[in-house]
Chains A and B, each alone.
Chain A
């Protein structure tokens, strides 16, 4: 496949995502990933074309976000795994990703909702300094802290009130975490 049709397809995907047509995105994505692997940019190497890597990263990010909207945890985890080498060499890829923090925060939230606290903290440790500053990452971090100390009223507030949620993707996890703390609360009363 020629590079041009690849770019038009990428644009098509971006517009479908912007129009919130996630079903269509999920159909567009698999063939695009095949193209990415043909162009040898599905896994970033120092030798690959840095300009194309940014495009590849954006495609994968759209994939990850689509997976969230379609509520497919496994697919989301796979996309995150594919994205992590891109983020590892982020100082080489331009322009920098605007979605990186959001996706990491979403991954943290996913781990939290699955009650995988060990993995949650492992992930958190890799961020260190950014944890308290970034608005997206702050959200799962605070949720975890409240859950651990038992301030369920704050968790309830943070997940149910739309104004407290930093982005619409985060709201999707709200019902999961409510179910979570509801489940734990029911056991005492």
Chain B
């Protein structure tokens, strides 16, 4: 039987199941196949904070959404075209996101009376016509898998567990994905358990063949590769990119990297990734708490290392005092905050942009800190290098604001070569800087950058003491002199205000838009996708995205004032809007949702259109 092949320009698939069903792995593998096929893609994992919530319940549902296309795309997609539901809970938790006419591939075996009851279904939705609006493919994934694995010497439980590979095989056939890499992946993953490896490969192949032969699926789809610019690509998540960016920063600054960190969701993967790269001289220190993590990083910075600490929401609160010490001792330090829903514990696996004011002002005293926010998962790499550049050049702590959406989301990344990366090295101070040629003045500043010298222990003749008590300008000796304090407060502020930050770029193709949509951080993708929609509909709108939140780009005031209306969507209650209103007296229109989820492009397109129409 020859099956029909239908051309599509893009597809959004959501894999959903119990947190023990292996949906993240399934999604990761489908993503890898898709990346190697050459589609542009963007992913969004969504999982509970509980490692194994009670099986079959709504809180235990874990999902992975993948958007892939034959053209460049900006987000993981608003609503899936295909939902793979491994159990009733997965169906129920995701159905409201599913537009009419979308495909549902449901594991019929799991729709038992007991499982249906667990999530409040009185009748089986696969049988009661309640899903008539959608294209339902009810497939007994578990029993087909078990049957395919009959001849293997494995337990029934192990056979059942391979059902995610059966599903992956089926979807791989449905969308014409290359399968070799997945087979190789399974063989490597279970290298020590050959029987499990073989059975998983068999389940995967069985799923693929099932799609090809069964009449349940009459059509398969083709999505042509996207025309990306020439180069080597890899699919990368924000946390991975950030970790690699830190390695690159260490190499390009010629400073040994010291990471002090305490495990916290969703930042821990940066610690895991950096721990693998000891060959680069990277020391990773899992501290007893958040405070010790940043303290050790600062201690290492005093010793001449590139000190880094990584954390999320509540961890930043704990680090505040030490960041203040880094501000006043003027030592380089990178503080990575992978923002998550707060306050307090909040929703650890959900995303938010609510730490901006905390990053800027969350310390006692006048305590200015540069703040940088990456816009996309792969941009986390460049943001890390930029954070290091500023920290080292200006001897200051830098806050790097990623978030849960960037951290776990992924996209293709055109891999840079080392030769393309900037040299961000700054030599240590090794000679006295006093006018007499003998004295060392640890707080005598560089005339241009206002940075103080960085003289590290082991340097003869430059022995000096620093600390949290106010220091006399120049000598750094303890000083309670009122005028000196006023001077030092202003000098520390002036140093941060004077950081060389590139101008913000405005995307205004025709140059006649009257509405500017401004954003920062991870809202870049949804805003840009929304703007494309609006422009396709004939709307005139400009876009600007701020990467440096302190200091702001020099041209930002001018940009804001050159539009009639400025719309600023944020996943908070208007934190950047507050700053811009105060600083530039511009009547920003805020759009805020704080649902722990990224914006949807469609939602933002509607908001933008409303602002344009109100002109």
* B is bound to A: no
